[in-house]
Amino acid sequence: MPLYKSLDLNSQTIVKVWKISETLEFFLNNLDLNHESLERVKGMKSELHQRAFLSVRMLLGEFGYSDLDLFYDSFGKPFLKDGKHISISHSYHFSTLVISSVEVGIDIEKQRSKIIKIASKFIGYETFYLNENDASQIQKLTWVWCTKEALYKLYGKPGTDFKKHFIVLPFGTESNNTIAWIVRENRKLKFVVTFMEFEGFGCVITEPEI
């Protein structure tokens, strides 16, 4: 069973990562899906997306939950019936899940050079410390993107602008954490950011600074 990684970030927050190697049939034979989830799987055109969706349900099992414990609001944000906070992400052959007693967000992305072409769409304040001649540019841009995506999942308010409302403070590739801010509607919210990296993928978890 390819539970790839499990990490207790602190006493409140646990992260698990799944490496997706199983067949679609394996997942369908080993999961108890609610009607809505089964219909969603049937409606997916890509088998890769189907397997990613189902691998998240396997991760739920690693936490002691099932698909029946998970539901979504009208904006697609996931929730657990027991009130714990949850965030979900997947990219290619990895999926990841974080569950916490505090609001939390997670994102995983494959590090690819194409991120340089779209950087101007999500980089604002970070321009001051990101150097285009830096050998680790792709890695750093991926971490910034993941941070802002994770913050968006946590914050979940329509009209939020990655470039304008999210600020990621400077960090080095030797570090595994930094601080980020959401600045919007005369409010400033501070978050702790934790970086993970494996097999060419970047993964970021965001949670409020306590």
Q: Give one DSSP letter per residue of 107-127, joined into a string.
A: EEEE--TTHHHHGGGT-SGGG
Mean pLDDT of the region 155-178? 90
Instruction: Tell me how far apart the alpha carbons of residues 123 and 103 are, in angstroms, rounded to a whole number.
Output: 24
Residue 1: the pLDDT is: 58
My answer on whether 97 and 151 are in the same domain is: no
DSSP-assigned states of every residue in 17-71:
EEE--S-HHHHHHH----HHHHHHHHH-S-HHHHHHHHHHHHHHHHTT--GGGEE
My answer on whether 128 and 85 are in the same domain is: no
- Which two structure tokens, joined as six digits, stand for 117? 């072409």
My answer on whether 121 and 143 are in the same domain is: yes
My answer on whether 116 and 28 are in the same domain is: no
Instruction: Tell me how far apart the alpha carbons of residues 188 and 182 are, in angstroms, rounded to a whole number.
Output: 6
Q: Which residues contact 109 (CB under 8 A, 6 or more apart)?
A: 91, 142, 145, 146, 149, 201, 202, 203
3-state DSSP of 56-89 = HHHHHHHCCCCHHHEEECCCCCEEECCCCEEEEE
pLDDT digits (tens, 9 = 90+) for 121-138: 999 999 999 987 787 899
- Which two structure tokens, joined as six digits, stand for 172? 């080095």
Last residue of a domain, one of 101, 120, 137: 101
Residue 116 has pLDDT above 90, yes or no: yes
My answer on whether 60 and 127 are in the same domain is: no
Residue 103 has pLDDT above 80, yes or no: yes
My answer on whether 80 and 136 are in the same domain is: no
| CATH code of 183's domain | 3.90.470
| CATH code of 93's domain | 3.90.470.20
- Percent of the chain exceeding pLDDT 90 equals 87
My answer on whether 191 and 117 are in the same domain is: yes
Residues paired with residue 72 on neighbouring β-strands, in sequence order: 78
Longest dimension (CA), the chain: 51
Domain ranges, residue 12: 3-101
pLDDT digits (tens, 9 = 90+) for 10-60: 999 999 999 999 999 999 999 999 999 999 999 999 999 999 999 999 999
